A and B are shown apart, each in its own frame.
Chain A
Amino acid sequence: MQSRDYYSRKLNELKSRHSGNPDRERWRRETLAPWNQKTGYGGKEYRNSSEIPIHEIYTPGDLPPDYDKKELGLPGEYPFTRGIYPNMYRGKLWTMRMFSGFGTPEDTNRRLKYLISHGESGLSIAFDMPTLYGYDCDNPRADGEIGRCGVNISSLKDMETLFRGIDLSKISTSMTINAPAAVLTAMYVAIAKKQKVPLDSISGTVQADILKEYIAQKEWMYPPEAHIRIIRDMMTYCSVNLPKWNYISISGYHIREAGSSAAQELAFTLADGFYYIDLGMKAGLPVEKFAPRLSFFFNSSIDFFEEIAKMRAARRIWATVLKEKYDVNDPRSLLMRFHTQTSGYTLTWQQPINNIIRTTIEAMAGVLGGTQSLHTNSYDEAWALPSEEAVKIALRTQQIIAEESGIPATIDPLGGSYYVEWLTNQMEEKAYEYFDRIEKMGGMLEAIKKGYIQKEIAATSYRRQMRIESGEEVMVGANKYQDSSEKPIGILKISKKAQDAQIARLKKVKITRDKAKVDAILGRLEDAMRDPEENLMPHYLEAVEAYCTLEEISNAGRKVFGGWKEPVIV
C-alpha cells in the first residue's frame, strides 16, 4: 500500500468491515424485548471511556468473515494481535518493575534493594521534580521539593550512590526521565564504565518521549524542536554504542492520566510512535536498527475489557502500519513491546484499601493484554509516595496473578471472545480516525503545537469529571458508599533532611572537581548545541564525567535553545 493518504484509505477499509448483526436483531425482538417488558426493565445505555456504546451481547456476526485468519492471527505471528512472542508468559513472565524513588539516593538505593529482595525483577526509577525539570538541589526554586516526588539527582555523584551495590549487568533499569533524558543516559553509561560493565551489555530504558510531555506530563525545558534534536542524537549514538538501550519509551500512560479516553491514549501514543519512526528514518538510520529499540508504555485503567482491547489493537496497528505504510519487513521491527502501569487516577483518597482491588483488576487487564512489564500502584497512591508496606502489597498483587491465578497458563485467553475481538476492532478504527485527522493537520508535532491534542484530552477529562459529579459514573467510597468514620492512613514522610544532605553533597562535588575543566566542557557543549549536525551525546558524557551538574548542563541548552510556553488549553 502506498504511503500517501494511507490512513484515510485504511480507515475506509476498516469501516467496510461493518455489517448488521441479524442474529442479535432477531434475539432482541423475540427474546429480549418480551423479557424486558415482563420485568419492567427500562433500558440503560452503557458506554466505555472511549464513548463506544456497548451492546447487550456479541455473536460471530460482529466480526468480519475470516477474521481469525486474516486479522487475528496467532501469537508471535503477524499482525501480533494475540501477543508478540510465540510462548508469551509460558516462556517468561512479565517483568515486575515497581516505579520507585524518594528522598536521597541512599534512601532510594535501600528501597530498590528491598524490592529486589522481595522478588522484583527489574528496576524503575522515579525522580523528584527538580531533577525532572533539570534544576539542581541548591536552586532556590527547588526549596521544599527535594526528594518529595522521587529521588534527587544533581550530579553523577548522586547516580553513583543510587546504584551502589547493584550490578548493572544483571538487572535492567527503567528511568522515568524526559527533558534531561540524554544527560541521565550519559550518567548511566558513566557508572557502567566505572563498574566495568561492557556498554553493549547494559540494558535499560529512558522515557525520553518528549511529544507526550507537551501533550500530557508537561516536563520540558526547551522548545519541541530542540528536544527532538536531542532525541535524534540519542538514537544515532545509542544504535552504535548502546545496542541494548531503549532510548524512547513511547508513553500513553501520561496521556491517559491527563484525562484522555482509552481510544485517545491509543491513537495519540501511536501517532507519537510514527513520528519517531519518521525521525529515525530522516536521521538516516536503518529501520531494523532502531525500530526494535522503541518500546511503549500504556495505562491499564478500570474498564477491564476496554483496556485489553486497546492493548491488542495497539500491537496490531503498530505492525500493520509499519509494514503497509513504511514498508518494514524485518519481523523484529514489527513487534510492539510495552510496559504497563495501573491507573493512578482511578485510585481514591477515600477508603484507600479499596485501591488494592482496583489495582488487581487493572493489573489483570495488563496481563491479559499481553504486557512485557508491569508496575502496580500502591493503595496509598492518592496520599503520597508509597510506604514500604503499601508497595509490598502492590508487588504481591502481581506475584499472585503470576503464580496463583492460572492466567499466564495459556496465551491470550480472551482471544476469540466476540466482545473482545469486536472491541479490539472498534478501538482500532477510532485510532485510525485520529491518525487521519492528525495527518491532515500537518502531523503530530503541528497538532501538539496548536494545542489540538491537549484540548481533546481536556474536553474528555471534563466530561468525565461531570459524570463523576452527577454520580452517573461511580467511584466507590468517593462519590458513593462514603464512610464518615474513616481515619487517615499512615504514609511515607519525607524529611527536609534529604534536602540538606543533597545540598551538602553537591557543595562537596563543586569543591572537589576541576572547575576550569568544567567551564571548558560546558563551553564546548554550548558550541555543539549551536551546530545541529553535531551529536550531543559524547558532550553530555564528557560533562557528567567531569561532574558538571544537571542544572549546569541543562542551562547550556536554556541559553542556546530558549524555553517554551504552551498554547492556551482551557
Chain B
Amino acid sequence: MQGGKYLADGKSQSLFRDKPIKVLLAKPGIDGHDRGMFVLARAFRDAGMDVLYAGLLPTPEDVVNTAVNEDVDVVALSLLNGAHLTVFKKVMDLMKERGIDDISVVGGGTIPDHDRPKLEKMGITGNYGPGTPLKVIIDHITERAAEARQKKNRI
C-alpha cells in the first residue's frame, strides 16, 4: 500500500490536511486473534493514517473511553470469535448513551453474511471478512472518517 493513498480522490483532502485520519483498532471481546490487527495497523499506517491498537482483551468501556480521549475519527472493531452481535452492540450502546456521534464505527472479522444487515442496523458499516483486499478496507475507512471529520468540524 502506498503512503498517503487515502486522499486519492481529492475529495477529502481538505478535511485531513492538518491532521491525518485517526483510527482506533480494537477487539472488544475475549479474542486474541491479532494477526489481522497487525496487518491492518501497518496497512493503515502505510496509507498515512494515525493508528492506535487497543491491545489484548479491552472491554467495550475501555474501547469507548480510548476513542473519546484520543478523539479518533474511526473505531475499527474486529472480532473473529463469533461474539460480534452481542459485543459490538455493547460498544454502540455505550456510544449512544454518551451521545457520541462524531466517531464512525466500522466492523470486520469472522462475520457470516446473515449478520451483516444486523450490524449495519446498529450503525456499524463495512463488516468485511477474510480475503477482503486492503484497498477496499482503506477506502471504506477513509469514507467513514470523512463523515466523522465533517461532524467534528460542525462546532
Contacts and interface: CB of A to CB of B under 8 A. Distances in A.
Interface of A: 129-130, 132-133, 135, 141-145, 148-149, 217-219, 257-259, 345, 348-350, 382-384, 458, 461-462, 465-466, 469, 475, 478-479, 488, 491, 494, 565-566, 569-570
A491 B85 CA distance: 17
Given A129-B29, A565-B55, A145 B83 contact: yes
B3 to A, nearest CB: 14
B92 interface: no
Interface residues on B, range: 20 to 34
Interface string B96-120: 0000000000000010111000000
Given A145-B83, A148-B83, A491-B112, A382 B130 contact: yes
B53 interface: yes
Contacts of B57: 133
B38 A570 contact: yes
Counting chain A CB atoms within 10 Å of each CB, the highest count among B32, B43, B59, B114 belongs to B32
A382 B85 CA distance: 18
B1 to A, nearest CB: 7
6 contacts: A141-B30, A259-B38, A348-B130, A382-B129, A479-B131, A566-B56
Given A144-B29, A565-B55, A461 B110 contact: no
B7 interface: no
A478 B112 CA distance: 16
B131 A458 contact: no
A262 B114 CA distance: 36
Contact of A135 (B30, B42, B83): B30
Counting chain B CB atoms within 10 Å of each CB, the highest count among A469, A491, A566 belongs to A469
Nearest to A494: B82
Contacts of B37: 570
A257 B130 CA distance: 14
A458 B83 contact: no
B31 interface: yes
Q: Majority SS of interface residues in chain A?
A: loop
Nearest to A149: B81
A258 B131 CA distance: 16
A469 B30 contact: no
B133 interface: yes
Contacts of A148: 81-83
Interface in B24-51: 29-32, 34-35, 37-39, 41-43
Contact of B110 (A145, A384, A465, A565): A384
A144 B86 contact: yes
B134 interface: yes
B15 interface: no
Given A258-B35, A469-B133, A479-B131, A142 B30 contact: yes
B55 A566 contact: yes
A488 B112 CA distance: 8
Contacts of B94: none
A433 B40 CA distance: 30
Given A349-B129, A384-B82, A478-B131, A465 B39 contact: yes
A365 B82 CA distance: 31
Contacts of A383: 110, 112
A372 to B, nearest CB: 27
A197 B57 CA distance: 39
Contacts of A141: 30, 59
Contact of A133 (B30, B38, B42, B135): B30
A462 B42 contact: yes
A349 B111 CA distance: 11
